[in-house]
A = this chain, B = another copy of it.
Amino acid sequence: MLEIKELRRIPRFSGLPEKAELFLAERIKRSSYKKGEMIFLEGEENNRFHIVEEGEVKVYKTLESGREIILGIFNAGEALGEVAILDAIDMPASAVAQEPTSVLSMTSQDYILMLEKYPEVAMRIIRDLSLRLRTLRKHIEMLGENGIATRIAHLLVTYARQNGRQINGDGVLVPLHLTRAEMASMVSARIETVIRIMSRWHKKNIVHSVPEGFHIPNIQILEAIIHQEED
């Protein structure tokens, strides 16, 4: 059982009525995953609703053709698997830890039960879903960009705005752990194309891959690229 104190640290669950907190704390399970470990698998029936407590999670879908398409990268505080809950369908995607990760989860049944017992939380869930919708729309906008370079710029800028940490006078560090293949999948391009763009940008001091993610000395250059002005 989770401690109430810990529960309250999760923005999504803070400020709930005490009874609801207790209800949740009793049912939420914490799990830890090493880098590369699966959190859930496409097709699984054992639907759970997850929240990332710490770390980085990749959610993806494998198409019939074998190609993997990445639906999103999730960080602390974000929810996973909201979709499968109400319809009790199989999980429609897989999730894997990109970094050492800790997630909180509860069964879909408990999730729905909570809704029925504590309608006050419905609003919160609805807000989460709306937020997710907006994220997906951003993703679609990114995929709608003209060239691959623009799409990569869009991707990096979006995550930088979301999770970037300012560095003392040296731009932003974006904690995002993607291989070139994963980046390629996200922007719908081939690995080689991504590599060529990233290495060009590396030489031009626009973006650097570092162990912690990406280092962007001057994010305005990327923003300019999105607005068509070449690179």
Report how far A139 CA is from B87 CA in the complex, Å.
20
Give the segment of A21-29, A59-67, A157-165, A175-183 that binds chain B: A59-67
Contact A134 B69 (CB under 8 A): no
Q: A130 an interface residue at 8 Å Cβ cutoff?
A: yes
Instruction: Give chain A interface residues in 87-143, CB to chain B under 8 Å.
Output: 87, 92, 112, 115, 119, 122-123, 125-127, 129-130, 132-134, 136-137, 139-141, 143
In the complex, how many angstroms separate the beta carbon of A70 from the nearest chain B beta carbon?
9
Contacts of A112 in B (CB 8 A): 123
In the complex, how many angstroms separate the beta carbon of A86 from the nearest chain B beta carbon?
5
Q: A9 an interface residue at 8 Å Cβ cutoff?
A: no
Q: A227 an interface residue at 8 Å Cβ cutoff?
A: yes
Given A61-B141, A115-B123, check contact A129 B136 (CB 8 Å).
no
Q: A228 an interface residue at 8 Å Cβ cutoff?
A: yes
Main secondary structure, interface of A, reads helix
Given A126-B126, A140-B71, A188-B144, check contact A134 B61 (CB 8 Å).
no
Considering only CB atoms, which chain B residue lies closest to A143 in the complex?
Answer: B143
Contact B115 A122 (CB under 8 A): yes
In the complex, how many angstroms separate the beta carbon of A227 from the nearest chain B beta carbon?
6
Contact A86 B126 (CB under 8 A): yes
Contacts A86-B127, A115-B122 known; 11 new A-B pairs at CB < 8 A: A83-B137, A86-B123, A115-B123, A119-B119, A122-B122, A132-B133, A133-B133, A143-B143, A143-B144, A143-B188, A144-B185
A-B contact pairs, 6 of them (CB 8 A): A71-B137, A83-B134, A122-B125, A140-B140, A143-B143, A145-B188
